[in-house]
């Protein structure tokens, strides 16, 4: 977008292709509001949207669940004689199917045929997905067989969607047969396929078979994600809880258990790792990384730390991603002592913390009013990192100013000046602009004077 603005400033007017390309990119990147502004600007400049730009906007609205607006755009296309493409219909059918507006999706399929546009694998898979999500697995299979008759070959997503639907209906055995069928046809199951199937057997209480599938997944080189582990964890928690309740009923005093006890996340995670190891599955750094990162995203930094200790006991060394996950989690929870210890440990292991880690630590330290420590950390960052522009953008603009800490931002800027850090004019203007957005009226004149003074000392 910066290049687009520069293009307009230089007097080079964007054409239909330029607008359409940018609108498409913004919609794909999930920036619908920016795409809407650009689409409106395009029309105001007398440039007619084409099939490409309309389809991009329709897809953007569909992904946001704004189906009525998307359908109104289709109607507008048809009014002005801009014919929709297969991609236009696919976006709408997918959106309607996800919104459980299946009858409308089916009508659009029929409309496609009327306009001599043949439904393709994406069209059929979108319908199948909508049906499977809403309990219509039988009808989904009917469409599945119909698409094969018309020469539309099911892809990985088609099979995965059907496997998910069968598992959600308690038909995990049939889902596994479908997995074998897709493999016979040369399609390789991915993480989502296996996770859906594992979940199906866990829901049936067949945890042993779920672990067999997990082992098969690893053997095939398919990397599990946090949801895969979470599915197995829930199965283990349920199994352990049933065991506790059974023991409690048989003998309330046995092992000191009562039916009110619950298995903790940490206990079930450790049980999961032991179970995997017993089943001959080699525990790897990647597995621990997935688990630690997932626990940290859920704010469970204590459990994540204990898991890191467990991996060390097994002779595995934490990687950069594990340390970063822990640090971000500690900072989010404002748990600063373990955060700073982790930073020291990370550095002692030869890892260079990224700038985003320093930003998180400095902002969190300022939030808990440990400003002196934040200042020392900022100073050490300046000593290590020569790119003052990047520091200004990441730590001051995207960090402190985002949290409204203008006084601390200026304090750190003066520290940069004292250490002879230089800035580009672009970074200076960016900082001045962002400061003007958050500064209080009473402070505006004072900060403006400081910025003018700094400009003379810091600009390259």
Angle between helices 265-278 and 301-313 (to 10 degrees): 30
How large is the average pLDDT for residues 425-443?
72
Q: What are the pLDDT digits (tens) for 23-40?
A: 888 888 888 998 999 899
Task: Report how far residue 272's alpha carbon sits from residue 154's, in angstroms, rounded to the nearest whole number.
Answer: 35
For position 257, what pLDDT does the model report? 43
Is residue 457 pLDDT above 60, yes or no?
no
Q: Distance between CA 193 and CA 93 in Å, rounded?
A: 23
- Tell me, what's the pLDDT at 253? 47
With b meaning 16 or more CB within 10 Å and e meaning fewer, what string describes 71-97? bebbeebeeeebebbbbbbbbbbbbbb
CA gap 271, 277 in Å, rounded: 10
Average pLDDT, the chain: 85
Residue 270 has pLDDT above 80, yes or no: yes
Residue 423 backbone phi and psi in degrees, to 5? -130, 155
pLDDT class of 261 with cuts at 50, 70, 90: very low
CA distance 456 to 394: 22
Classified as helix, coil or strand, 300 is coil
- Picking from 114, 74, 115, 116, the residue whose alpha carbon sits closest to that of residue 93 is 74
For position 242, what pLDDT does the model report?
A: 63
Q: Quick check: pTM over 0.85?
A: no
pLDDT(212) > 60: yes
96 confidence band (pLDDT: 50, 70, 90): very high
Nearest 5 degrees, angle CA 90-CA 165-CA 146?
A: 55
The answer to whether residue 263 scores a pLDDT higher than 90 is no
Residues of the chain with pLDDT > 70, as a percent, come to 86
The residue whose two tokens read 């340390």 is: 323
Q: What is the pLDDT of residues 283-328, one digit of tens each?
A: 899 999 999 999 999 999 999 999 999 999 999 999 999 999 999 9
What is the per-residue pLDDT across 37-71, written as a single tens digit (0 to 9) for each?
989 988 888 888 999 999 999 999 999 999 999 99
Tens-digit pLDDT profile for residues 242-260: 655 555 555 554 444 444 4
Q: Which residues lie closer than 8 Å to 436 by C-beta, 6 or more apart?
A: 444
Identify which of 2, 64, 71 has the alpha carbon closest to the alpha carbon of residue 28: 64
pLDDT at 2 over 60: no
Looking at mean pLDDT, say which of 335-339, 358-362, 371-375, 386-390 comes out highest.
335-339
């Amino acid at each position: 977008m910066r290049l687009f603005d520069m293009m307009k400033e230089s007097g080079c007017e964007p054409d239909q292709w330029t607008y359409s390309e940018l609108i498409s990119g913004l919609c794909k990147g999930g920036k619908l509001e920016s795409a809407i502004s650009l689409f409106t600007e395009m029309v105001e400049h007398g440039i007619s949207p084409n099939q490409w730009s309309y389809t991009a906007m329709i897809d953007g609205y569909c992904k946001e669940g704004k189906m009525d607006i998307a359908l109104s755009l289709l109607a507008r296309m048809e009014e002005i004689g801009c014919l929709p493409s297969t991609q236009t219909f696919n976006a709408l059918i997918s959106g309607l199917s996800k919104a459980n507006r299946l009858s409308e999706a089916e009508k659009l399929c029929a409309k496609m045929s009327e306009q001599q546009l043949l439904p393709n694998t994406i069209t059929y898979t979108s319908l199948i997905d909508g049906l499977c999500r809403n309990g219509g697995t039988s009808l989904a299979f009917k469409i599945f067989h119909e698409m094969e008759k018309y020469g539309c070959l099911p892809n990985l997503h088609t099979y995965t969607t059907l496997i998910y639907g069968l598992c959600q209906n308690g038909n995990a055995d049939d889902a596994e047969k479908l997995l074998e069928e897709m493999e016979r046809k040369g399609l390789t199951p991915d993480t989502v396929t296996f996770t859906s199937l594992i979940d199906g057997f866990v829901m049936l209480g067949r945890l042993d078979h779920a672990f067999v599938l997990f082992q098969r997944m690893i053997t095939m080189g398919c990397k599990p994600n946090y949801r895969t582990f979470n599915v197995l964890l829930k199965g283990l928690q349920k199994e352990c809880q049933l065991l506790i309740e059974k023991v409690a009923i048989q003998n309330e005093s046995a092992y000191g258990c009562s039916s009110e006890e619950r298995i903790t996340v940490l206990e079930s995670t450790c049980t999961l790792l032991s179970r995997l190891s017993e089943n001959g599955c080699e525990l790897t750094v990647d597995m621990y990384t997935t688990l630690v990162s997932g626990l940290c995203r859920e704010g469970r930094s204590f459990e994540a730390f204990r898991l890191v200790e467990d991996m060390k006991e097994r002779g595995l060394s934490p990687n950069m991603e594990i340390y970063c996950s822990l640090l971000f989690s500690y900072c989010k929870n404002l748990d600063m002592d373990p955060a700073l210890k982790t930073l020291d440990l990370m550095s002692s292991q030869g890892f260079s913390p990224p700038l985003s880690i320093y930003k998180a630590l400095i902002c969190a330290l300022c939030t808990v009013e440990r400003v002196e420590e934040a200042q020392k950390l900022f100073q050490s960052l300046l000593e290590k990192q020569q790119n003052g522009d990047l520091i200004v953008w990441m730590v001051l603009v995207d960090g402190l100013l985002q949290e409204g800490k203008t006084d601390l931002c200026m304090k750190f800027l003066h520290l940069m000046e004292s250490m002879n850090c230089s800035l580009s004019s672009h970074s200076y203007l960016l900082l001045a602009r962002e400061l003007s957005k958050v500064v209080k009226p009473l402070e505006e004149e004072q900060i403006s004077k400081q910025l003018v003074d700094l400009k003379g000392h810091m600009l390259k």
